[in-house]
Structure 1
Amino acid sequence: MIKIKYAHTNIITKDWKKLAKFYEIVFNCIPVPPIRTYQGEWLDKGTGVVNAHLQGMQLRLPGYGDNGPTLEIYQYSKMINAERHIANQKGFGHIAFQVEDIAGLLALALSNGASKIGELSEHHFDNMGVFKFIYISDPDGNIIELLNWS
């Protein structure tokens, strides 16, 4: 069997500094220096993007210590705009954060540029407890699930 280890999730944005700050403030993500700037034939080849040039940073996700997975927030010098993300479209769906206080974190996220997609919902699962969740979007429209089990 091939050894596999999850490494990171990448978000492409039009303003990497602004979006990185959102994830730092709202979700306590920790910057992992240095700021990265990449370009060259190797990047073009691997991404399939001609004359690719990107800049951004990695943020350590909360709850896993110094060796946990990261969230990459990058910006290409040439961007392609797409329609707004929706929960049931094909492709990447959302990133999820398990939180103790959904209402408190929701308020913090909204005050930092997030938007509500759904409403806070809860469901009791036999032998598992109460599941509460809501979908929101970050300032770029990427979907985030806030969830809690009790």
Structure 2
Amino acid sequence: MFRYAHTNIIAKDSKRLIDFYKKVFHCKSIGEVRDLRGAWLDKMTGIPNAHITGEHLCLPGYGEDHPTLEIFSYDDMAMADSPQINRCGIAHLAFEVDDVEKTLELLLQEGGGQIGEIVRVEYKDGKKAIFVYATDCGGNIVELQSWI
């Protein structure tokens, strides 16, 4: 069997980022809280005495058989440069929302940031959408989109 399982975000403060994703993007707790350590984790991560805490969240729009958003913190973390939308690698998480403007407002109230401007686009096939890039409270890039 092949299926997508989860996306992992490492956060300075996993509890704060978990709360952010619950409030802003309607992610839900599913009882998969983690407090991981041990020789198996040290071997898998290559980090001696690794300790990970965090939680898996159900992404909005999914039922029981779902991929999750895994938000973890390590006791000892390496800091990265600021994320940029045009860097190689995974660039952003995208969420389809009812109202881009209202969701962006809530995102900003909860400690996120805005990267670019809100844009309205009409594709050649007549589909219309509203988009904006933003950051969560941990600095990770997210896209808000609404198809109209």
TM-score (norm 2): 0.95
Q: Is 1:4 paired with 2:2?
A: yes
SS of the residue 1:66 aligns to: coil
CA RMSD of aligned residues (A): 1.1
Report the residue type matching 2:132 in the other structure. Answer: I
Residue deviations 1:4-35 (CA, integer Å, cap 9, x gap): 10111000011111110000001110012142
Q: Percent identity?
A: 44
Q: How many residues align?
A: 148
The code of the aligned residue for 2:95 comes to F
- Match in the other structure for 1:134: 132
The alpha-carbon deviation at position 63 of structure 1 amounts to: 0.2
Aligned partner of 2:53 in structure 1 is 55
Shift in CA distance, 52/128, structure 1 to aligned 2, threshold 3 Å: farther
CA–CA distance in structure 2, aligned partners of residues 46 and 92 of structure 1: 21
Compute the TM-score of the two structures, normalised by the length of structure 1: 0.94
Alpha-carbon distance in 2 for matches of 1:128, 1:69? 31
Equivalent in the alignment of 1:27? 25
1:128 and 1:61 map into 2 onto residues whose CA distance is 29
Query: How much does 1:123 deviate?
Result: 1.6
> Separation in 1 of the partners of 2:62 and 2:133?
23
Amino acid at match of 1:97: F
> Residue deviations 1:100-130, cap 9 Å, x none?
2111111111111110001101221111411
State the SS of the aligned residue for 1:82: coil
Unmatched segments (≥5 aa) in structure 1? none
Return the match for 2:113 from 112, 115, 140: 115
Aligned to 1:104, the other structure's residue is in SS state helix
Q: Unmatched 5+ residue regions in structure 2? A: none
Tell me what 1:99 maps to.
Answer: 97
Q: Deviations over 1:11-62 (max 9, x none)?
A: 0011111110000001110012142111112112222222211000111000
Distance in structure 2 (CA, Å) of the matches to 1:119 and 1:86: 15
Aligned to 1:37: 35
